[in-house]
Amino acid sequence: MSDDGSDDGSGDGLVAGEELQLVRSAQLDWIHALAERLTEAGIPRQVNPLTERRATDSTWGLYVRPADLARAKEIDREVMLEVMPDIPEDFDPSTHDTGQCPACGEPTPEGASECASCGLALL
């Protein structure tokens, strides 16, 4: 990864223009942790900014090949439980409606870092 967090997958076995699927969009620290774990598991990945703010405040996306998506999501769950140990073991982020604040239920735009209505920090 470069200093700003982005990478093009080169050296990871990805080919430019290859079809990739989003595993996680999150703050850069989470994406770095997930990228490291995927590298350890031998899964090529690509990281790109999703919002145009400072690198540390932006939302980043981590992408993998469709064939690696299921394993990457398992690793993402492991990272999630490490980063947020208070989350219940049976929490399934794929069933969470990301278009709505989990605290107050108000709609949240994609990539929002906090709920405009109640101020809850969103991942």
**Partner residues linked to 60 by β-bridges:** 26, 49
The letter for the amino acid at 30 is W
pLDDT of residue 13: 75
Range(s) of the chain covered by CATH 3.30.70? 21-91
pLDDT of residue 60: 87
**Number of Cβ atoms within 10 Å of the Cβ of 65:** 19
Do the strands 21-26 and 60-64 form a parallel or antiparallel pair, or are they unpaired? antiparallel
pLDDT of residue 28: 85
Written out in words, the top-level CATH class of the domain with range 21-91 is: alpha beta
**99 pLDDT more than 80:** no
User: What DSSP character marks residue 18?
Assistant: -
CB 64 within 8 A of CB 20: yes
Mean pLDDT for 16-45 is: 92
pLDDT range class, residue 100, cuts 50, 70, 90: confident
Pairwise pLDDT comparison (103 vs 5), residue with the higher score: 103
Q: How far is CA 2 from CA 30, 47, 85, in A?
A: 16, 10, 29
pLDDT range class, residue 10, cuts 50, 70, 90: very low
Q: What HEC string does 40-71 produce?
A: HCCCCCEEEECCCCCCCCCCEEEEECHHHHHH
> What pLDDT digit, counting tens, does each position of 72-90 carry?
999 998 888 887 777 777 7
pLDDT of residue 63: 95
**119 is written with which tokens?**
């101020």
**8 pLDDT more than 50:** no
